Structure 1
Amino acid sequence: MSITTNFTRLTGKLGALALAGAVSFGLGSAAQAETLIKFATALSADSGLMKVAYGPWIDELNERAKGEFRVQAFPPPFANAVNVWNRVVDGVADMGIVVLPPTGLPFTGSHVTTVPGTGDNVVAGSVALWKLYEKGLLKGEYDDVKLLNLVTVPANVFISKTEVDSMDDVKGMKVRANDKNSAAALTNLGASPIAIPFSEAYQALSKGVVQGGVANGVTIVGFKLGEVTGYQVDNVFFGMVPAAFVMNKDFYDGLSDEAKKILESVSGLEGSIDNGMRQRAYDESNRAYLEADKNYHFVTLSDVEKAKWDAALAKVADQWAAETPNGAEILRVYTEEYKKAAAQY
């Protein structure tokens, strides 16, 4: 066989390999054209809230994206409740759900939702919080991100190891507080609030370090606090924790117009309502679970006793309004928007 023939065959093989490589590279490039959006969350993949609320929201967003982008959840240790905000702002994550109080950052206006006695309708709370942003009453709080949605998580209630049906039962009781507002409310009720990290709440209740505290269905069921308490005051509410869906500004600016359009379709007021609905559905499932537990009891305060608790909680609202910049106006508008939304949702 001649050298020329061998050379022809060799170059033919190389050409085929090059063509195959080019095709392979082309397919790889097509696959890579789908932008990956890293979604930071402090929740594990198997958490109830992730399965019922945030996970389905991500799935719906990916369905709308149709290959334009794909959102993928990055749970701990990629991020935690304290650093999710910074992860997004710094570009380590592209997007995230941030529960605001644990960050320690000054979301002073947004914390109006944590004021005790402001309501327990999670959809109305989400709408009212977005309306505050829309009306410019949360100045500076979200300047470092592209804000997509605002949502409140289900309302906090008082839980305890022994039955509580009056303020007298609470007096002197050592209880765990969630934040400054809940601590003030518990103090006004006559209890002795103690700051205990959430990660230690189950153990503190189990060992009797505290006899009660404030929590919601997410924590009572998901983190098994119901197992070490057993009683819940059912008609007084200690505010709702605010959370935000946010995206890194530069990352958002670099997206295609089509990708931005898709994100906008699940953002703003409608997106906040949608997420509020998901939170409500999760809360209802937790409620049903607790109602089926024969060892867990719901206590409804009498009208006279409830009036006493409401009066104690109202002092916290007055204090918050006085101490927060433009607090009186923020509280007024939030309350007004909440009532309108509650009548609709």
Structure 2
Amino acid sequence: MKKTHVALGALLAALAPAALTAQEVTLRLSHWVPPTISPATKGIQPWAESVMEASDGRIQIDIYPAQQLGRAPDHYDMARDGIVDLSYVNPGYTAGRFPIYALTEVPFMADDSVGGAQAIHEWYAEYGAEQEMGDVKVCFVHPHAPGAFHSQVDVTSPDDVKGMNVRPAHATMARFVSLLGGGPVQVPAPEVREALSKGTAEAVTFPWGSMYDFNLTDEVPVHLDMPFYLSAQVLVMNESSYESLSDENKAVIDDHCTPEWSGRVAQGWYDDDMAAKEKLMADDSQTFNTPTEEEVQAWIDAAAPLTEEWKEAVSAKGHDADAILAAYKEALAKYDADY
């Protein structure tokens, strides 16, 4: 009988799944969110899965959650320097570094996160991405539903913040707390519960879902029921990692780095936040305070200096602050997300 010899590599290739043999590149994506909570499960994970599916398995994305590869404030540099290929960045964790983008942090600008995500992506791509994040590729913008003020005691007006230690969502909110006479306690999201339990902070500005994500319902059971602010995270990609891709794979990434995709990833987080809010409202141990129209206006008036400070910071960098601000408001209105 004649024997036929087959090379081991050819045999393994023939037996391997088609997706595996077609794979061309593996990208490392790092974020600082616990892997089971909504920003990861309803935003980052679906995006990565869609990239892998759209590339027919040529692009594999390995996800490293919960600060495994670096601290939350370091994630922009991790992508820029090629420590990772993709990273999830909260620009507000690094005060003053992204002055144009900081406009998204000013409270009482946007009242919807899904339309807001698309508006921010479209606006920033034109007015700030190249100037501030030109050494990475911006893939999507990922805000939560408008966050609220959560505390241990009743807070309904700006005057109530005086003398209170508050963990702010980002640098602009920290400035707002200071303007109101409070003390900002700046720690990353995963460290908030510890700060509250030790008494370092007495209140926090957070999205609704974070009350459960970080087990805070006992720590801050009093909630100011009004759209307060956005914190819009950004997924960015190392430029060399992107440029090393084939044209076919670049096209897949480009198709997933659009305002439409920003809206899609924001929708999952929005839905989760609204479900969490409803759950909190049904819990007798939680207190909801609805401000009067006069109190709402008082909050808006108290935040007005933040816009002026933003304009000064952006103008100092040589940018046309008035034009950038007008374009942002126009984009929010286009997507029905203006306050």
The alpha-carbon deviation at position 193 of structure 1 amounts to 3.2
Q: CA RMSD in A?
A: 2.7
Give the alignment of 1:190-229 within 5 angstroms: 190-196=181-187, 198-229=189-220
Shift of 1:37: 2.0
The answer for the alignment partner of 1:23 in structure 2 is 11
Q: How far is the alpha carbon of 1:111 from its aligned partner?
A: 1.4
- Tell me, yes or no, if structure 1 residue 152 matches structure 2 residue 158: no
User: Does the 8 A contact of 2:98 with 2:132 survive in 1?
Assistant: yes
- State yes or no: 1:273 paired with 2:263: yes
CA distance 1:173–1:21, shift in 2 (3 Å): closer
The CA distance in 2 between the partners of 1:178 and 1:235, in whole Å, is: 16
Equivalent of 1:304 in 294, 299, 303:
294
User: After the TM superposition, which residues 225-264 of structure 1 pair with which residues of structure 2 at under 5 Å, given as runs?
Assistant: 225-237=216-228, 239-264=229-254
Distance 1:276 1:247, change over 3 A: same
> What whole-Å deviation, never above 9, does each CA across 1:203-239 have from its counterpart, x for those lacking one?
33224333213222243221122320111111251x3
**Any stretches of 5+ residues in structure 1 without a counterpart?**
1-8
Distance 1:100 1:304, change over 3 A: same
Structure 2 counterpart of 1:262, one-letter code: V
Which protein has the larger Cα radius of gyration, Structure 1 or Structure 2? 1
* SS of equivalent to 1:280: helix
Q: Give the distance between the partners of 1:259 and 1:98, measured in 2 at CA.
A: 23
Does the CA contact (< 8 Å) of 1:173 and 1:192 recur in 2?
yes
TM-score normalised by structure 2 residue count: 0.86
Equivalents in 1 of 2:294, 2:311: separation in Å?
26
Structure 2 Cα separation of the partners of residues 212 and 29 of structure 1? 52
Is 1:170 the counterpart of 2:161? The answer is yes
Determine the C-alpha separation between the residues in 2 that align with 1:134 and 1:82. 22
Percent identical residues: 26
- Matched letter for residue 48 of structure 1: S
> For 1:49, which of 23, 39, 64 is the aligned residue?
39
Amino acid aligned to 1:337: A
- 1:135 matched to 2:123? The reply is no
CA distance in 2, matches of 1:56, 1:32: 23
Q: Deviations over 1:226-274 (max 9, x none)?
A: 320111111251x312222222222222222222222222222222222
SS at match of 1:235: strand
CA distance in 2, matches of 1:242, 1:296: 27
Residue 5 of structure 1 corresponds to which residue in structure 2? none
Contact 2:143–2:232 (Cα < 8 Å) also in 1: yes
Q: Is the 8 A contact 1:81 1:98 kept in 2?
A: yes
How far 1:82 moved relative to its partner?
Answer: 2.2
Matches within 5 A, 1:86-165: 86-103=77-94, 106-165=97-156
Equivalent pairs counted in the alignment come to 331
Q: Which runs of 5+ in 2 are unaligned?
A: none
Tell me if structure 1 keeps the 8 A contact 2:139–2:258: yes
- Separation in 1, partners of 2:212, 2:144: 14
* SS across alignment from 1:278: helix
Residues 21 and 253 (structure 1 numbering): CA distance in 2 closer, same or farther, change over 3 Å?
A: closer
Secondary structure, aligned partner of 2:140: strand
